[in-house]
Every structure is written in structure tokens, then in C-alpha cells.
Amino acid sequence: MLIKNTWDEALVYRLNFILWRVRVVIRFLITYFLWSSIYSGNQQFFGYSREMMLTYVLMVYLVSNFVFATRTQNIGSEINEGKLTNYLLKPFNYFISLGARDVSDKLLNFGCTVFEFAIIYLLFRPPFFFQENLGLIILAVVAFVGAVGVYFCISVLLGFLGFWTSEIWATRFIFIILLDFVAGNFFPIDILPKILSQILMLTPFPYMFYFPVKVYLGQLTTSATIQGFGVMAVWVFLLTKAMFLVWRKGLKVYSAEGR
Amino acid sequence: MLKYYFKIWLRFTLSAFQIAFVSRVGAFLFTFAKLMRFGFFMLIVVLIVTQTQSLAGYSLNQSLVFFLTYNVIDTLTQLLFRDVYRFREHIISGYFDYILIKPINPLFKILFGGADPLDLIVLVPYIGLLILFITQLSVTVVTFVSFMLLLINAFLISAAFHIVVLALGILTTEIDHAIMIYRDITSMARFPVDIYSEPLRGFITFIIPVGVMMTFPPKALFGLLAPQFMLVSGVIGIGFFVVSLKLWRYALTQYTSASS
């Protein structure tokens, strides 16, 4: 029911939704054309061939549209405006409601993404690397699920700032910028100076886009893959704990202001 | 008339600045985020140009002038036209009726009614860096004047884009994504549009004149823009602006005041 309602809600303003998808495609094409132009001579830059870089860009497009699709960005304003009360009064767990709305948004956006991806592929015929190693595909799917968890927890935590402050958009704005640059949305982070990319691998950001795609491409050594999954698991655990802790603390100060 | 509107603009701007600094923490965080994004992109330009030796034949210094020119135009545009981002709310809440009955041009109010001080803060280092990199190039008076004229032309095109978005806002109530699509497309000009292959390059140069806005001014500065392209730029700028005003006037005739 919640999933269906979220779909209905998203499709009330159809033009708005269509323009959102147009925007997503344009943003992808900008990144795609940029890297395609840089690799026009078929040289190898940053340790990537043209095929690998464009596959990276395409895979990030697929992964990010699933990971990034969320309704959790509204949590902060719902708390600030007292609308959280509506959920608290309902006879089901708030996190189940959040999860259901998120799944709905992800399915809707991912469905569109697959359709758009097919059109882009037929139009531009990009050199796409199809991974044939079943083990790597399974590992990439596991990493992909972990990416969804990391993003969900961080996004919810940012929303929970609304319990203490009305300044919720500035922190989310910073988060979105970080996603572009240190999560690997705009470029693979291993093109950065080595020390910088090593430090970034200890943060949760690369595990949202960069790590799952690198696993798919098979560009990580066995030890780097194990280490990556280890760090990701630690972050998922810590962020989940933090999310429930902040939720409990937040409820104690929640005053339903605005209702 | 000009003095009258300038005084009104000062009033609007002062009020907008006061509102922006009601929350100093928020203002600081947004400014920090904008500077951080700028720094990241600058790092990417440097990384790409140093790896590929030159970007479409341009040196690192020239590539940075392209990047900084884009940032100056984009930021100044946002600084002046920030109220456009709030127009949808005005339409769906019926507040636009209130603007229409004021003794000033409604387009003036919507375009210039809420300058963004945070963009003014970040504009200072952008302009400083642009001047710094320009002084390291061999620039003549003629190329510099051409650069400035094309910058003015870029603002004219940018204003036209914003007016088109406002007109669409009245006709469809859709603003948010339309203005962001404009910004996404213009962001292609962080790098010179020469790097893109045809037909994309022609499309973003003349059909959606991003290249005319962002890439032509630095090219003129480097002495790489043929005089006839200066003329074409002017025609595109003025033509686009006139068309946008006509569309705005048409949109006003379609406004139904349905929300109030």
C-alpha cells in the first residue's frame, strides 16, 4: 500500500517527474560526453582505457539512480514542520514506512533508468565492458546492496538533524557535493593522488558508487576487495547503530512544532 | 526611470541580504559548500589537463581561464536572478497576483527581486583568480575589450534563459527542474566546448548558445575568435533576449490567477 501510494504521489505532477528524469539523463550525458571527448584519441589516461572509463561512467549512472533514489531527503522538513507526528500515530514502525517509500522511489527511478540506458546504448553504442565472471557479478551485487544501506543511513541521519535544527538543507547540500567528488559519481576516485584516494577509502563515501562499480569491473585485487567489503560492513554497522541511537535521542526532544 | 528602478533594486537587495544572514550557520555552510565544489572542479580541470597534456589544444592556464569565466558568469547570474528559483511558489500560492498589482514591472521584481549575498561572497575569489590567470596571458586591449563585450552578451543570453523559464512557469507551473536543466547544460562549459565532438558542439554553441555564452569570451581573449563570430554572438544574444520577452508577454496573457 505504501509503495503504491508513493508511486501515485510521484506521478501526480507528471511534468515535474518527466523533467526530473530529463535532468538525470542530461547530467549523465554531460559526464559521458566529457570523458568520451577526453578519450577521443583512444589513449590511456589515469590507468583507464576508453572502454573502462565509459563503462565506469555508465555503471555509475545505473548504480547511482538506484542508490540515490530516496524519499529520506524529506525527513528533516517533516520533523521541522511537525509532520512526523502523522507517522508516529500510525500503527506501524516508522522505519518500515521509510523503507517502503524508499523501495518505491528506487523501483520507479530504476525502471526509468533501465529504459533510458537502453535508449542511450542504442543511440551512442558506447564501448561497454560486460563482466563475464559470475563471481565478480555476485560480489558487485552484494556491494551494491551495501551501497544502498550506507546511503540510506547517512541520508536518514542528515534528516534527523531536523530534531535539533532547522538548518537541514545546508548539510544536505554539502553531502550532495561530496557524493559527486569523493563518492565517485563524477569520476573514479583512483584518478586522484594516491594518498588522497587511500584516505577516502576509509570514509563511507566511496562505498556508495565507486566500490560496487570497481568490483564489477574486476579492477580490484583480492586483498583490496576483502578490505573494501570489511570497511563497508563496519560503516553499515556503525551507521545503522547511529541511526537508531539518534532516532531515540531525537524523539525525546521532538515537540511536534508546527502542528 | 533608471534611477527609480536602481533604488528599488537596492531595497530588494538589502532585504534579501538581511534574510540570508538571519541564519549565519546556514549562510556559512552554503558558502563553504560552494567554495568546496569550486575547489573540487578546479582540481579536476588541473588533473585532466596535466594528464592529457592539453585540453583540445588549450594550455592549463587557458583551460583555467575557461573554467573561471564559466564560474564568474554562472555565479553572477545566480547572484542577480536568484528570485527566479522561488517563482513556482509565487505561482502556486497566488502571491504572483500581489506582484502584478505593484507599481513596478513584474518581470523586474521576479528577475532581480532577491539577490543572493552568498554568491557575492564566492564571486570575489573567482574574479580575483580570473584576473590572476588573465594577467599571465598575452592580452591586448582589443582582445580584452572583446572579452568584456562578450561577457555582457553572455549575461544577456542568461537573462533570456531565465525569462523563458519564468514564462514556462506561468504556462506550466514547472520551474524547479527547468532552471536546473539550464544550469546543467551550461555546466558543460566548465570546459571549452571545443572538446565536444559534432553534432553536440554545434548544438551547444548555436542552438542552445552555451558556447556563445561561456566559451566565446575566453576565445576572444586569447585572440582565437574570428570577428564574424563576435557579430554572430551579438545577433544571437539580442535575438534570444527579444524572443524571451515576447514569450513572457504571451505567458502573462495566459495567467489565470487560479491559485489565489
Indicate the domain borders of chain A: 2-253
Q: Which amino acid is at B166?
A: L
Kindly state the percentage of chain A with pLDDT values over 70.
96
* C-alpha to C-alpha distances, A212 to A50, A155, A184, A198, nearest whole angstrom: 19, 19, 10, 16
pLDDT(A205) > 90: yes
Enumerate residues 6+ apart whose C-beta is below 8 A from A41: none
Q: What is the pLDDT of residue A4?
A: 73
Q: What is the pLDDT of residue A259?
A: 65
**Residue that the C-alpha cell 551507521 belongs to:** A239
- Secondary structure of residue B103 in the 3-state scheme: coil
Q: What is the pLDDT of residue A109?
A: 85
Mean pLDDT (whole number) for A23-42: 82
- Secondary structure of residue B28 in the 3-state scheme: helix
Q: What is the pLDDT of residue B260?
A: 58
- Of B29, B52, B55, Cβ closest to residue A170: B29
Count of helix runs (H) and strand runs (E) in chain B: 13, 0
Residue in chain B lying closest to A34 (CA): B196
Q: What is the pLDDT of residue B131?
A: 93
Enumerate the H helices of chain A as residue ranges.
2-10, 14-38, 50-67, 75-80, 84-88, 94-124, 134-160, 169-182, 194-200, 210-217, 222-253
A197 compared with B173, residue with greater pLDDT: A197
Cis peptide before B199 (omega within 30 of 0): yes
Nearest Cα neighbor of B53 from A43, A140, A103 is: A43
- Neighboring chain B residues of A170 at a CB cutoff of 8 Å: 25-26, 29-30, 33
Q: Which amino acid is at B160?
A: A
C-alpha cell recorded at residue A145: 546492496
pLDDT(A96) > 80: yes
Sign of the torsion angle spanned by Cα atoms B52, B55, B57, B60: negative
Per domain, the residue ranges of chain B are: 2-254
- Of A15, A170, A191, Cβ closest to residue B174: A15
Q: How far apart are CA A166 and CA B152, in angstroms?
A: 39
Q: What is the pLDDT of residue A229?
A: 95
pLDDT(A21) > 80: yes
Q: What is the pLDDT of residue B149?
A: 94
* Cβ–Cβ below 8 Å for A169 and B26: yes
Q: Element (H or E) spanning B53, and its range?
A: none
Phi, psi of A167 (to 5 degrees): -85, 70
pLDDT(A187) > 80: yes
Question: Does B152 contact chain A (CB < 8 Å)?
Answer: no
- Secondary structure of residue B58 in the 3-state scheme: strand
Between helix A14-38 and helix B176-186 the angle, nearest 10°, is 10
Give the mean pLDDT of chain A: 87
pLDDT(A199) > 80: yes
- Of A15, A16, A37, Cβ closest to residue B197: A37
- Label each residue of A140-160 as H, E or C: HHHHHHHHHHHHHHHHHHHHH
Which of A119-128, A155-164, B103-112 is the least confident region? A119-128
Which of A113-122, A137-146, B190-199, B229-238 is the least confident region? B190-199
- Of B43, B52, B187, Cβ closest to residue A30: B187
- Find residue B58's DSSP bridge partners: B55
DSSP state of B197: P
Nearest Cα neighbor of B212 from B163, B152, B167, B168 is: B152
Phi, psi of A45 (to 5 degrees): -125, 150
Q: Low-confidence residues of chain B, pLDDT below 50?
A: none
Q: How far apart are CA A9 and CA A76, in angstroms?
A: 19
Nearest-CA distance B51 → chain A (Å):
7
Q: For the CA atoms of B18, B23, B25, B30, what is the dihedral angle to 10 degrees?
A: -70
Most confidently modeled of A19-28, A40-49, A151-160, B218-227?
Answer: A151-160
Suggest the residue from B195, B204, B208 to mutate for an interface test with chain A (most A CBs closer than 10 A). B195
Q: What is the pLDDT of residue B116?
A: 83
Q: How far apart are CA B37 and CA B41, in angstroms?
A: 6
Q: What is the ipTM of this complex?
A: 0.81
Q: What is the pLDDT of residue A241?
A: 95
**Residue that the C-alpha cell 575566453 belongs to:** B218
Mean pLDDT (whole number) for A34-43: 77
Q: How far apart are CA B135 and CA A226, in angstroms?
A: 51
pLDDT classification of A219: cutoffs 50, 70, 90: confident
A residues 80-109 near B, CB within 8 Å?
none
Mean pLDDT (whole number) for A165-187: 87
